[in-house]
Amino acid sequence: MGQFAVIGLGRFGSATSLELMKMGHSVLGIDTDGKIVDKYADQLTHAVIADVTDHAALEELGLNSYDVVLVAIGEDIQASLLCVVHLKTLGVKTLWVKASSHAQHLILNKLGVTRIVHPEEEMGIRVAQALSYPMVNDYISIGNGEFVVEIMVNDHLEGLPLSQIMQGQPESIHVLLIKRKTQVTVHPGNDFILQAKDILVMLGQLGTLKTIAPKLI
C-alpha cells in the first residue's frame, strides 16, 4: 500500500484520490476550501484544509514522507507554482504536477518535477484514438513509440486461427496474451482459434499496430 498526498481536490484531484483509495492506498487530500475538504473527509484516509502557498503549513503536513505528492491545483497557476517551489525545498522527491498551459509546463520542467500531467490533453488524445480505432479497448504507451493495446475480436473473426490475423504483419507486432472471459492464454501459438469477444493484448510500434486495425473491424 502506497502513501499519496493530493493537493487540490477539484475534479481531477478528487477523481485521482478516490481511485487511489479504491486501489487500497492511503491518501491525504489537501485543499484550501473547507466545504470541499468536508465533502471528501469520509472518503479519504485524511483530508485537511491548508494554505498550500504557505511554506510553514506544508511543512507541518510532513509531505516529504509520502511516496508521491500530486499537485492538482486548477487554474491558479501562481498558487500551483509557489506550492511546487515549497515542496521542492521541503525535500519532496517524487512530485507530480498538473499543468494547465504550455508556459506552466516550461516552468515546471525547469523546477525539475518528476512528472507533468496534462489531464485534458491526455484525455483528448485517448478519445481521438478511441474514435479512430473503436476496436481498441485500451492502450498504454511504454515509450519509444511502443504501445500495448487491448483489441476485442469481432464476430466475423470467430473460428479463425491467430495466424490468419497476423499474416503479412511485421514481426515487430507481438501478441502477448489472449483473454477469454476468466481464461488467459500467454503467448498464444499461431494455431490458436479465436472466438468473438476475445481480447488480444498486443505490443508494437503505433504505426505497425495501425496496419492491423482494419482486419479487426
Condensed to tens digits (0 to 9), the pLDDT of residues 158-203 reads 888 988 888 777 777 888 999 998 899 999 988 999 998 888 888 8
CA atoms of 102 and 141, how far apart (whole Å): 22
Q: Which amino acid is present at 178?
A: I
pLDDT of 22 above 70: yes
CA atoms of 37 and 19, how far apart (whole Å): 17
Q: Which residue has the higher pLDDT, 82 or 134?
A: 82
Can you tell me the mean pLDDT for 138-151? 75
Task: Detail the DSSP E strand segments found in the chain.
Answer: 3-7, 26-31, 46-49, 68-71, 95-98, 115-117, 136-143, 146-152, 174-180, 183-186, 199-205
Can you tell me the mean pLDDT for 70-74? 89
CA atoms of 6 and 47, how far apart (whole Å): 9
pLDDT of 27 above 90: yes
Q: Which residue has the higher pLDDT, 54 or 171?
A: 54
Confidence of residue 122 (pLDDT cuts 50, 70, 90): low
Q: What global pTM score does this model have?
A: 0.65
Q: Which residue has the higher pLDDT, 79 or 214?
A: 79
Domains in the chain, ordered, with CATH? 3-118 (3.40.50.720), 130-216 (3.30.70.1450)
CA atoms of 120 and 49, how far apart (whole Å): 26
Q: Is the sign of the CA dihedral 60, 64, 67, 71 positive or negative? A: positive
Query: What are 205's strand-pairing partners?
Result: 146
Output the CA torsion 127→128→132→134 (10° steps): -10
Least confident of 1-5, 42-46, 65-69, 83-87: 1-5
Average pLDDT, the chain: 85
CA atoms of 78 and 39, how far apart (whole Å): 25
Can you tell me the mean pLDDT for 52-58? 94
Confidence of residue 36 (pLDDT cuts 50, 70, 90): very high
CA atoms of 58 and 91, how far apart (whole Å): 11
